[in-house]
Structure 1
Amino acid sequence: MSDESLHGFPPDYAHARADFLTAAREAGARLRSFVLPGHRGPDGGELAVDTAYLGPSAPEKLLVAVSGTHGIEGFCGSACQTRVLLGEGVARSAAGPVTGVLLVHGLNPYGFAYLRRVNEDNIDVNRNFVDHAAPPHSEAYEAVHAALVPADDGAFVPGELVARLLALRGGLGAERLQEAVTRGQYRHPDGLFYGGTAPTWSRRVFETVVAEQIAGAAHVGYIDLHTGLGERGVGEPIFRGGLDADARARAHRWYGDALTASEEGTSSSTPIVGNTATAVAAGVGTATRLTAITLEFGTQPGPEVLVGLCADAWLHRHRAPADAVRSELKGLIREAFCPADADWRGRVLDRAREVFGQALAGLADGK
C-alpha cells in the first residue's frame, strides 16, 4: 500500500485501486476487472470496476460490500474494503466452506477519479436502477431545480446559493427540501440526482456481477458504502430491503436499534428510488434471502453538502474534466464526502469493522 494509504485514506482513485488490488492479491482473492471504455483518469490511467472474491466456488452464504457507487464516496468505501476487510484479514478469515466474501470496488470509477458523485454523463448511478421506459417523476424536484441550477448560470457565488437554499427550506421545510432534491429525478440532465434515460455502464456491470457472482447464494448480506448524510462520523445502517417477509426483522437482529429505514422516517436519508439494492433483489430473486443495507457515514450538515454538490455541478458545466478536477472548488465536495481529519477517518474504520462483523455474525447464525 502507499504510505498515505497506510496512515489514512487513499489520496486519489489511482492509489485506491492499486492498494485494493494489491491487498486482494495478497489475500489470495480471485480478481475480475471491468474497464470503462472511452475514458481515462486525470493521470491518463485506466478506470475500472474491480471485484475481489474469497470463498468457495458456490457459496451458500455471501457477504457483499460495494464502494464508489457515488464516485467520490469511494475514498471512504475503498478504505473500508482495503484496510478492514482485506488489510486486517477479515474477509479471508470469514470465508470458509460455505461462506464467501465479494468486494465490488469503484462501481463508478469515473466519478471516483474526477472527484464527482455522478458518472461521466452526470448520472447518479444510485438512481439509475429503474425502468427507464416508465421512470418515476419527481414533481417536487421541479420546484427546486432552478435554485440549484440557475438559468443564467453565471459565476458560482456560494453566498447566493445559500440564500436560495435558505429560502427553499423556509418554504418547504428541511425534510421536504431534502426529499425534493435527493429522491431522484429523470427530466433534467444538468440537474442534481439525475437518474438518466437508460442503464449506465456501471449499472450494466453491476447487473453482470449480480448474475454471475451473487445469484445462487442462499443468503446474501449486502452493504453499499456511502457518505454524506447523518451525524458526523456515525455509520448509520439504513435498511434497503429483501424480498422475504422476515427481511426487516432479520436486519434488526443483525444491526440492532441502530438500524433505520427511510420509508419509516427514522433515517437521515429520505426515500430514494433506483438504488443498487434494487438490482440485487431483482437478480437473486425469491430463492435467496437478502439482507441489504446502506452503511452511511455522516460528514457535514446537509446544507454544506448540498453547496458542495452544486459547486461541483457548476464547475463541470463550465470547465473540461481535466481542468475541473484541479479547481479549488473541488475542496468543497471532497470535504462534503471525505473529510480530511484523522478523527473522522478513524471513527469510520472502527464503525465499518463493527458493521462488517455484525453482518458476518448474522450470516453465520443463519436466522
Structure 2
Amino acid sequence: MADVVFPSDYSQARGDFLRAAEAAGARRRTYALPGHRGPDGGELCVDTAYVGPPDPEKLLVTVSGTHGIEGFCGSACQTGILLREGVAREAGPRTGVLLVHALNPYGFAYLRRVNEDNVDLNRNFVDHGAPPHNDAYDAVHATLVPPGSPAFSPHELVADLTVLRERLGPQTLQEAVTRGQYRHADGLFYGGLRPTWSRRVFQAVVAEQIAGAAHVAYIDLHTGLGERGVGEPIFRGGRDAHAHERARRWYGDALTASELGTSSSTPIVGNTATAVADGLGPGSRLTAITLEFGTQPGPEVLLALCADAWLHRHSSPAEAVGSELKQLIRAAFCPADDATWRERVSRRAREVFGQALAGLADAKPGDAG
C-alpha cells in the first residue's frame, strides 16, 4: 500500500485529484468560482468524482476543503485512499462513492479557513432571514480581532486570550467563539449574510448527485480539533429516529456528539450536513459525521485563526498568502513536516471509510439500520 501523498498547494491537490479520478474511471463534474483566481493565476474549482452504478441505492459521500486550508488533509485522503488505492471501487453492489473536492477552493488556495468573503462555510447553511445570532461572541470579538492594530503582536494576543480564557473558562470561550456568528463580517466563524457560492454549488450537487439515493453515508473531512492525529467521528445527523443508534453501530464507541458534550467540537449551526438532510427525498436515510483530525492544542489553533484574521485585514490576498504568519495557520490545520501525523491520519481515514462502506452494505431497504 503506497504512502498517501499530501499536496503542497491547492493546484497540486486539484491536479492529483483529477488525474486519480480519470484513472479510476470516475464521472467528473467541475464548478468554477467566478471572479477569482488562485495565487498562481489558475482557476478555483469545486470538482466532483463519482465511482459506481448509474443509479445507486446507497451512496458514500466525502467532502474535503469545507474549511479551505483543511483541504490538504481531506484531499490527500480522497485522492490517495478512495481513488488511488481503489477503496471507492470496493463498494458493494448498488453502492456508489461520490467525492466532493475543495468545497471552498478560495480558502484552500489562499491558506484560509474561510472563503473569499471571510465566511465560514460550515456556518452558512442557515436561514439568513432569521439567523441564529450568537450574543456571546459579541463580548469576545474585540479581543479576537482587535480594532485598528497596526502590527500583529502574538505575545500580546496570547496574554489577552489567556485572560479571556481564565475569566470565561475554556468551554464557555470555545462555545462563544465557534458556534457561529452573523454580525461581525471581519470576525471569526462568520456565517455570512446570504448563501455563499459554495453553498449554492453544494446544494446543486445534493440535488443532482445525492438526492436519489435511499441511504447516504456522509463524511465531511476536517482538521484542527481534538487529540493530535486522532480521527474523531462526530455525529452530524440523520433525521430518522434511528440515525444516532445506526452511526454508533457503524463507528463504535469512538463516535461523539457535540450536543451530548462528548465531542471536541461544541454544538454548531449551519453545517454542510444540513444541506444533505434537506435535499434527500422522503424515506431516504442519512448517516452523517464529521471526521475531525486533531493537530495542536486549542489555544494554539485559536491564535492561528486570530493571526490570519489580522493578516487579511491588513494585506491583499496575494501579499497575505506569502506571509510568514501563514506558517501558524498551516501548522494548525495541516502540519507540513510531521510524517507520523500524516501516517496516523491516513490509517484512520482508511478505517473510517471502511466502516462507512460496511455500514451501508449491512443496511437493508426499509429497516432502521
Q: TM-score range by the shorter chain?
A: over 0.9
Q: Among 122, 126, 130, which residue is 1:126 paired with?
A: 122
Query: Which residue number in structure 2 is paired with residue 110 of structure 1?
Result: 106
Query: Which residue number in structure 2 is paired with residue 99 of structure 1?
Result: 95
Tell me if 1:268 matches 2:268: no
Tell me if 1:162 matches 2:180: no
Displacement after TM superposition at 1:204 (Å): 0.1
Q: Among 292, 305, 309, which residue is 2:301 paired with?
A: 305
Displacement after TM superposition at 1:57 (Å): 1.3
Tell me if 1:75 matches 2:72: yes
Q: Among 328, 332, 356, which residue is 1:332 paired with?
A: 328
2:70 partner letter:
E
Displacement after TM superposition at 1:92 (Å): 1.4
Structure 1: unaligned runs, 5 residues or longer: none
2:301 partner letter:
V
Tell me if 1:52 matches 2:66: no
Query: Which residue number in structure 1 is paired with residue 255 of structure 2?
Result: 259
Query: Which residue number in structure 2 is paired with residue 30 of structure 1?
Result: 27
Matches within 5 A, 1:200-211: 200-211=196-207
1:43-86 C-alpha deviation (Å, 9 max, x unpaired):
00010000000111110000000000000000000000000101
Q: Among 215, 224, 228, which residue is 1:228 paired with?
A: 224
CA contact (8 A) 1:240 1:277 kept: yes
1:75 partner letter:
F
Q: Among 235, 240, 243, which residue is 2:239 paired with?
A: 243
Query: Which residue number in structure 1 is paired with residue 191 of structure 2?
Result: 195
Displacement after TM superposition at 1:153 (Å): 2.1
1:361 partner letter:
A
1:27 partner letter:
A
CA contact (8 A) 2:65 2:71 kept: yes
Structure 2: unaligned runs, 5 residues or longer: 364-368
C-alpha distance in 2, partners of 1:361/1:91? 12
1:237 partner letter:
P
CA contact (8 A) 2:4 2:77 kept: no
Q: Report SS of the residue matched to 1:217.
A: coil
C-alpha distance in 1, partners of 2:331/2:5? 15
TM-score by length of 2: 0.97
Percent identity over paired residues: 78
C-alpha distance in 1, partners of 2:188/2:74? 22
Instruction: State the 4+ residue runs in structure 1 displaced beyond 6 angstroms.
Output: none
CA contact (8 A) 2:223 2:334 kept: yes
CA RMSD of aligned residues (A): 1.0
CA contact (8 A) 1:48 1:109 kept: yes
C-alpha distance in 1, partners of 2:158/2:279? 41
Q: Report SS of the residue matched to 2:70.
A: helix
C-alpha distance in 1, partners of 2:311/2:3? 32
Displacement after TM superposition at 1:6 (Å): 6.3
Query: Which residue number in structure 2 is paired with residue 63 of structure 1?
Result: 60
Displacement after TM superposition at 1:219 (Å): 0.3
CA contact (8 A) 1:235 1:295 kept: yes
Query: Which residue number in structure 2 is paired with residue 352 of structure 1?
Result: 349
Query: Which residue number in structure 2 is paired with residue 13 of structure 1?
Result: 10
Q: Report SS of the residue matched to 1:50.
A: strand
Q: Report SS of the residue matched to 1:240.
A: strand
1:264 partner letter:
L
Matches within 5 A, 1:309-324: 309-324=305-320
2:346 partner letter:
L
TM-score by length of 1: 0.97
1:138 partner letter:
N
Displacement after TM superposition at 1:285 (Å): 4.2
Displacement after TM superposition at 1:8 (Å): 3.7
CA contact (8 A) 1:243 1:285 kept: no
CA contact (8 A) 2:228 2:296 kept: yes
1:50 partner letter:
D
C-alpha distance in 1, partners of 2:3/2:237? 34
